[in-house]
Chains A and B, each alone.
Chain A
Amino acid sequence: MSTVRVLVGTRKGAFILTADGKRDKWSVSGPHFAGWEIYHFNGSPADPQRLYASQSTGWFGQVIQRSNDGGQNWEAVGNTFAYEGTPGTHQWYDGTQHPWEFKRVWRLEPSLTDPDEVYAGVEDAALFRSRDGGQTWQELPGLRAVKGHLWQPGAGGMCLHTLVLDKNQPNRLYAAISAAGAFRSDDAGQTWRPINKGLVANGELPDPAAEVGHCVHCIAMHPSRSGVLFMQKHWDVMRSDDAGDSWHEVSGNLPSDFGFPIAVHAHEPETIFVVPIKSDSEHYPPEGKLRVYRSRSGGQEWEALTQGLPQSDCYVNVLRSAMAVDTLDQCGVYFGTTGGQVYASADAGDHWQPIVRDLPAVLSVEVQTLP
């Protein structure tokens, strides 16, 4: 029977949650790297035993950990993230230019085909790639060449938090940066273009045609549908059917179109999941009810999924990297909260159960479906 492994990054360590394909009994391993923030924890699609974790603290900086045996043993690998050439400057909060400074790794995205190749999305926003299993890292500086001097940090920092790889078009990458926007490369990361047409919202940017400066929270794509992208923006849930060349809003009947994560069903490319959050001023669910919303029509029409989720007095948040799906026949959906719960649904969101209730605040959730 298949196994599901949920990789959880938290404010105080990493956890590995494991169950068989029934997904009703879970074992918990961790904390790994106890006391450190794990911004992202991810596995290689090409070799599921190869795991990467981004480990950091304000005291000791950034460490990258690698496992070759599914998380039983770990080794610290390279943590030198040097911007290519003269780092240059970006826009600071007061409108002045500020030097690019590495702070931490937000995203580790292993290649779809090579376990030794892995991308790192970092703060201050840039994209790095390693081709030796994380030992050394080289920047792909073409991204920052896309009007990087106009990028300005969002409230959480100027971070490259989302990276989407396309198995059908191996040279195509999508990246999202707070608060610069979404970007696409069609030449394996050498050159990039902004893909932010249509990302307009009251109060975000005065110029609706601005090429950069958009507050993109998360992007998801179904592996079989190249070019169809779903986005949770600061405000608004968006959709693109042309690889990001244009976007249109699909928030529809959501109770709030603010939120952080977005995910696509493993087998139904038009079924998507979001977790509405009340507002950017109040980072918790509307009415204190934790509800995942599912659209089976690629957006616009949404249904609340509530069974097994707290429907009163719930004031947690679900962060942008903290929702993922498995690929079992009956698609499982998973998300973690800032209150330390990791919820799982083995039936595409119809019913939920907490796998764990009392972890540190959850920063990221990834899922591996193992044969």
Chain B
Amino acid sequence: MIRVTLPYHLRNLARVGKEVELQIEGPVTPSAILTALEAQYPMLLGTIRDQATGHRRPFIRFFADGQDLSHQSPETPLPEAVANGTLPFLVVGAMAGG
């Protein structure tokens, strides 16, 4: 089971707690996680990645296992600790204030 941590506003939108669990077949990548997340919580469509381009929204970051994975290809396999559910995949609203 894959664990995903969502930012405050998306938890409220999806009406879930801080963390959700997803079942994923095949390689565990950011893209696969988001596809499963959007299928289970369709109200999150477009809130993390642009619906037209599939690109990560500018003020969203992906963290896992102490690393910022935001700039990696979304098809890059995630660390084993995320794939086996030991650690969560973190969807983070970026610091973007002033």
Question: A: which residues have CB within 8 A of B?
Answer: 34-36, 57-63, 76, 79-80, 82, 102
Of chain B, the residue at the smallest CB distance from A58 is B59
Measured between alpha carbons, how far is A79 from B44 in the docked complex, in Å?
A: 10
Interface residues of B in 9-43 (CB under 8 A from A): 9-10, 12-13, 43
Of chain B, the residue at the smallest CB distance from A82 is B52
Interface residues of B in 21-79 (CB under 8 A from A): 43, 45-48, 50-52, 57-60
A-B contact pairs, 14 of them (CB 8 A): A58-B58, A58-B59, A58-B96, A59-B7, A59-B60, A59-B93, A60-B9, A60-B93, A63-B43, A63-B47, A76-B43, A79-B45, A82-B51, A82-B52
**Complex A-B, nearest 3 residue pairs according to Cβ-Cβ distance, in ascending order:** A76-B43, A60-B47, A59-B59
Q: B90 → chain A, closest Cβ, in Å? A: 15
- The answer on a CB contact under 8 Å between A80 and B9 is no
Determine chain B's interface SS by DSSP, over half rule: loop
- The answer on a CB contact under 8 Å between B47 and A61 is yes
Q: In the complex, which of the residues B51, B58, B96 has the most CB atoms of chain A within 10 Å of its own CB atom?
A: B51
- The answer on a CB contact under 8 Å between B96 and A80 is no
Query: Number of residues in B with C-beta < 8 Å to the partner?
Result: 21
B94 within 8 A of A: yes
- The answer on a CB contact under 8 Å between B96 and A59 is yes
Q: B57 — which chain A residues lie within 8 A by C-beta?
A: 59-61
Measured between alpha carbons, how far is A57 from B9 in the docked complex, in Å?
A: 10
Q: A120 → chain B, closest Cβ, in Å? A: 14
Q: B47 — which chain A residues lie within 8 A by C-beta?
A: 60-61, 63
Q: Using A60-B60, A82-B51 as known contacts, list a sample of 6 further A-B pairs with CB atoms less than 8 Å apart, ordered by residue number in A.
A: A34-B12, A35-B9, A60-B47, A60-B57, A61-B47, A79-B51
Question: B: which residues have CB within 8 A of A?
Answer: 7-10, 12-13, 43, 45-48, 50-52, 57-60, 93-94, 96
Measured between alpha carbons, how far is A62 from B9 in the docked complex, in Å?
A: 13
- The answer on a CB contact under 8 Å between B46 and A61 is yes
Q: B48 — which chain A residues lie within 8 A by C-beta?
A: 60
- The answer on a CB contact under 8 Å between A62 and B59 is no
Q: B45 — which chain A residues lie within 8 A by C-beta?
A: 79-80
- The answer on a CB contact under 8 Å between A62 and B46 is yes
Q: A76 — which chain B residues lie within 8 A by C-beta?
A: 13, 43
Q: B51 — which chain A residues lie within 8 A by C-beta?
A: 79-80, 82
**Given A76-B43, A79-B45, A80-B45, A59 and B9 contact (CB-CB distance below 8 Å):** yes
Q: B7 — which chain A residues lie within 8 A by C-beta?
A: 59
- The answer on a CB contact under 8 Å between A60 and B10 is yes
Q: A63 — which chain B residues lie within 8 A by C-beta?
A: 13, 43, 46-47
Measured between alpha carbons, how far is A61 from B96 in the docked complex, in Å?
A: 15
Q: B9 — which chain A residues lie within 8 A by C-beta?
A: 35-36, 57, 59-60
Q: A36 — which chain B residues lie within 8 A by C-beta?
A: 9
Q: B10 — which chain A residues lie within 8 A by C-beta?
A: 60
Q: B85 → chain A, closest Cβ, in Å? A: 26
- The answer on a CB contact under 8 Å between B93 and A102 is no
Measured between alpha carbons, how far is A58 from B94 in the docked complex, in Å?
A: 11
Measured between alpha carbons, how far is A278 from B60 in the docked complex, in Å?
A: 39
Of chain B, the residue at the smallest CB distance from A102 is B52
Q: A102 — which chain B residues lie within 8 A by C-beta?
A: 52
- The answer on a CB contact under 8 Å between A79 and B46 is yes
Q: A157 → chain B, closest Cβ, in Å? A: 16
Q: In the complex, which of the residues B12, B46, B48, B57 has the most CB atoms of chain A within 10 Å of its own CB atom?
A: B46
Measured between alpha carbons, how far is A74 from B59 in the docked complex, in Å?
A: 26
Q: A60 — which chain B residues lie within 8 A by C-beta?
A: 9-10, 13, 47-48, 57, 60, 93
Q: B46 → chain A, closest Cβ, in Å? A: 5
Measured between alpha carbons, how far is A79 from B50 in the docked complex, in Å?
A: 11
Q: A80 — which chain B residues lie within 8 A by C-beta?
A: 45-46, 51
Contact of B50 among A34, A58, A61 (CB under 8 A): A61
Measured between alpha carbons, how far is A5 from B43 in the docked complex, in Å?
A: 27
Measured between alpha carbons, how far is A57 from B10 in the docked complex, in Å?
A: 11
Q: A35 — which chain B residues lie within 8 A by C-beta?
A: 8-9
- The answer on a CB contact under 8 Å between B46 and A59 is no
Measured between alpha carbons, how far is A58 from B52 in the docked complex, in Å?
A: 16
Measured between alpha carbons, how far is A34 from B96 in the docked complex, in Å?
A: 18
